[in-house]
A = this chain, B = another copy of it.
Amino acid sequence: MRVAATGTSMDAPPRRLRADARRNYERILNAARSEVAAYGAQASLEEIARKAGVGSATLHRHFSSRHVLLEAVFSDRVRELCELPEETTVKADPAGALVEWLRAVASFVVTTRGLAESLLGGLQTHSATTDASCYQLVSAAGAGLLERAQRSDAIRPDVTIDDLMTIVNSLSLASSDGEADRRTVDRLLRIALEGIGPVSEPQ
């Protein structure tokens, strides 16, 4: 069995594309991202092409199957989460940077729900981020954020990145779907990160 030597799913777009082809690729990916957020893995390819302003043939030239397109959306979002921790933000407010990142992970889990299952087939996975390799990529990015925040005493020392990922994952799977759901999850996550004690006065 031959294994392709180039183009892991984390590198997108996988090939050098001419400027207009690249624009189309990005447009399709963006359209797919918002349709998948709204409708999950069953999002309409026709609607994605329409929103991207391209024909079905163009969509299929860039993404030969639903699976390839879903994988690109998923990888794109994972890469975003891995790149989100910016050194500058972290230095200014390490706890705030960690919280923002955890909220982005929650949004990722809510909006890609069903995508990991769809991509991974038989794997018994409860959510996007429970896929081992994806989980490792994302949590390694978060571990750095957490470590810096703990080093500056902004976050309690006994919390691990696995604790935080489990809390984010669990709350993200709390409700059903849609925009209201996204807001609910974000609200619950903020409560869980801040705790239920009396809100302290801003210093």
Contacts and interface: CB of A to CB of B under 8 A. Distances in A.
Interface of A: 95, 153-159, 163-164, 166-167, 169-171, 173-175, 184, 187-188, 191-199
Nearest to A195: B195
A198 B156 contact: yes
B163 A187 contact: yes
A71 B199 CA distance: 41
A169 B174 contact: yes
B166 A196 contact: no
A167 to B, nearest CB: 6
A168 B133 CA distance: 28
Nearest to A164: B196
Given A169-B174, A174-B170, A156 B188 contact: no
Contact of A196 (B159, B170, B197, B198): B159
Given A156-B199, A199-B156, A167 B192 contact: yes
B198 A153 contact: yes
Contacts of A199: 156-158
B195 A154 contact: no
A193 B195 CA distance: 5
Given A155-B197, A156-B199, A167 B171 contact: yes
A180 to B, nearest CB: 13
Contacts of A184: 166
Interface centre among A192, A193, A195, A196 (most CB of B within 10 A): A196
A175 B162 CA distance: 12
A174 B171 CA distance: 9
A176 to B, nearest CB: 10
26 contacts: A154-B197, A154-B198, A155-B196, A155-B198, A156-B194, A156-B196, A156-B198, A157-B199, A158-B199, A159-B196, A163-B187, A163-B191, A164-B196, A166-B171, A166-B174, A166-B184, A166-B188, A167-B191, A170-B173, A171-B171, A191-B192, A192-B195, A193-B196, A195-B195, A195-B196, A195-B197
